[in-house]
Amino acid sequence: MTAPDDLPLRAFPKQDAYRLVNGKYPPIEIFDDVADQADFEALYAVQALTNPRLQMLVGELHRVPPHRRPWGIPGCNYALGPFVHLSPQGSRFSDGGYGVFYCAERMATALAETRFHQEQYFRRVPGLKYDRIVMRGLRVRFSARLRDIHTPYRDDSGWYRPDDYGPARALGQRLFDADEHGLAYGSVRHDGALCFALLSPHLIESVTPATHYEYVWDGERIAHVLTIRRLS
């Protein structure tokens, strides 16, 4: 079993990347309205008096230590989102017990990754002949020191299996337990392209709107990806 310390460590200062999120999930506005932890606690206390859904919107914020909450950055709500609203199904590098912020070096790679996973979701819906969803495009900037498995581990580690995430999740868990920043890895859906898995939101410096897309499902696949205007 490969130990995290055995993997190459690569610095990514001021790295630009791209991410897509389902447009049906609204931004968590309270995260963008505060500058520090004291501001958040005060605003939360006031809004909680009139908004019974606030706790559901905020999610499991306790999973992120206060000093790792990037208050004040552009798009703080997008930076915190994957860490406070965990997917019970997990992902490639997490079994669902902790959050991971996934992004890609190129928007084309983010499109390929999310298109594949959205097709998998649509195929599990019985009788679904047609649907369309809007994906919010996001431009990300982060600075981190990541374990680099883009090469030479691609072929023999088990971390890149298309459907069996077991080895990749075991690696992610070891990195999370060791308080590592995360991984730079090769896209499984866009051959040769570079992706990032960040294990803490404090690494993220900004998340701003980019081009948005509409995915059109024809009953068998996402047949069309339409570029639409940037949404607020």
Q: Quick check: 153 pLDDT over 70?
A: no
Name which residue leads in pLDDT, 191 or 152.
Answer: 191
Q: Quick check: 163 pLDDT over 60?
A: yes
The total domain count for the chain is 1
Q: Quick check: 129 pLDDT over 90?
A: yes
pLDDT band at residue 112, thresholds of 50, 70 and 90? very high
ω before 8 within 30° of 0 (cis)?
no
d(CA 28, CA 54) in angstroms, rounded, equals 9
| 127-131, 149-153, 196-200 — most confident range | 196-200
Q: Indicate the SS3 state at residue 121.
A: helix
Mean pLDDT, residues 58-86: 95
Name which residue leads in pLDDT, 56 or 13.
Answer: 13
| 5-14, 50-59, 97-106, 121-130 — most confident range | 97-106
Please tell me the predicted confidence (pLDDT) of residue 155: 57
This prediction has a pTM of: 0.93
Please tell me the predicted confidence (pLDDT) of residue 232: 47
Q: Quick check: 229 pLDDT over 90?
A: no
Please tell me the predicted confidence (pLDDT) of residue 50: 84
Length of the chain equals 232
Domain containing residue 199: 4-228
Burial class (CB in 10 A: 0-12, 13-18, 19+), 172: buried
| pLDDT averaged over every residue in the chain | 91
Q: What residues does 186 pair with on adjacent strands?
A: 194
- DSSP H helical segments within the chain, as ranges? 29-32, 37-48, 54-58, 76-84, 107-123, 166-177
